[in-house]
Amino acid sequence: MVLNSNRVDNFVCNGTTTTIKIQTDIQMQQTVPLEIHKVRLPPQHTTLHKLKHRLSEIFFPDDPLYTFKNQTWCTKFFFAIQYLFTIFQWVPHYNLFLLRHDIISGLTIASLAIPQGISYAKLANLPPIIGLYSSFVPPLIYSLLGSSRHLGVGPVSIASLVMGSMLSETVSYTQDPILYLKLALTATFFAGVFQSSLGFLRLGFVIDFLSKATLVGFMAGAAIIVSLQQLKGLFGIVHFTSKMQIIPVLASVFMQRDEWSWQTILIGFSFLAFLLTARHIVRFSMLHKHFIEADSKILRCSQNNRNVLFCIIKCVIHWSLYY
């Protein structure tokens, strides 16, 4: 079967006479000019305009000022307040159901933040009250300005350890505690200014240039360093090295064997075993169904509230021994 590409150009029917004019492709090419579909070239932009466009894609990919377009000045002011203080975005939708869950989560986090803040303060050779304030004030401020519901705000172990090591090279807390506190507050202030500048300039994309191996290595190294620094309190050592390397820390632990306290070692390892055991209690009870329901509830309660139980028991033991 051959495809006929001829086209019927004209069809006329006058009674008994029918006239059909057929025009071939060659005749069409000779009579009808070919149409050319023109593509519009993109407009020419200056170098400054290209630079502005690329910077906006880097620093403002979410286009935060999009909602401000074609709005009145009153609406723009209201949007600006919501953008700076994000608490005004979710407060109108807050209810008692969310308050109930926030109270439960707040008590849960507080049971962890209290001993954690105290331990972080000891890593930086600061009074424990400084660690408690550092765990309470930043989340309170972030609730007014922050937009993430899953971000943990507060002191971290590696920052506390670095600050303690840095300040110990300049002044000793036992010799001049006031100067030590002033230097710690000054270092914290400038670190906050630097971090706020990074956020204001929207330089969070810099973290994308760090490889996964770098991040994993940093976290693993920080975990090892922080764990070694806990040996001071675990063995009750008073004179401990300010260095963070593995060999100097282990050498300091074994060179100060005469300062080891068996009471501290016994309490420390007992609570460490308690925390590690309580972590797997619920999983063990769920796998073995022969546990009675009452025992299962007790085990689950002890696992979920192990941090609170740990703090209460430790405070009672400390009070009974030293007061």
User: 172 pLDDT band (50/70/90 cuts)?
Assistant: confident
Number of domains comprising the chain: 1
Judged against a pLDDT cut of 60, whether residue 202 lies above it is answered with yes
Judged against a pLDDT cut of 80, whether residue 318 lies above it is answered with no
User: Is 314 a member of any domain?
Assistant: no
Judged against a pLDDT cut of 90, whether residue 190 lies above it is answered with yes
Range list of β-strands (E), the chain: 7-14, 17-23
What percent of the chain has a predicted confidence (pLDDT) above 90? 5
Judged against a pLDDT cut of 50, whether residue 322 lies above it is answered with yes
User: Is 107 a member of any domain?
Assistant: yes
User: Is 76 a member of any domain?
Assistant: no
Kind and range of the H or E run holding 169: none
Look at 55-69, 267-281, 291-305 and tell me which has the smallest mean pLDDT. 291-305
pLDDT at 1: 47
**CA 188 to CA 185: how far, in whole Å?**
5
Closest CA to 168 of 205, 134, 123: 123
Structural domain including 166 reads: 83-209
Judged against a pLDDT cut of 80, whether residue 40 lies above it is answered with no
Strand partners, 11: 20
User: Is 264 a member of any domain?
Assistant: no
User: Is 223 a member of any domain?
Assistant: no
**CA 144 to CA 114: how far, in whole Å?**
22
User: Is 123 a member of any domain?
Assistant: yes
User: Is 257 a member of any domain?
Assistant: no
Q: What is residue 17's DSSP assignment?
A: E
Q: 33: which 2 tokens?
A: 């000019």
Judged against a pLDDT cut of 80, whether residue 33 lies above it is answered with no
**CA 72 to CA 78: how far, in whole Å?**
10
- Name the average pLDDT for the chain: 77
User: Is 254 a member of any domain?
Assistant: no
Higher pLDDT, 263 or 39: 263
**CA 128 to CA 121: how far, in whole Å?**
5
Q: Are strands 17-23 and 7-14 parallel, antiparallel or unpaired?
A: antiparallel
pLDDT at 179: 92
Look at 131-140, 160-169, 174-183, 293-302 and tell me which has the smallest mean pLDDT. 293-302
Judged against a pLDDT cut of 80, whether residue 122 lies above it is answered with yes
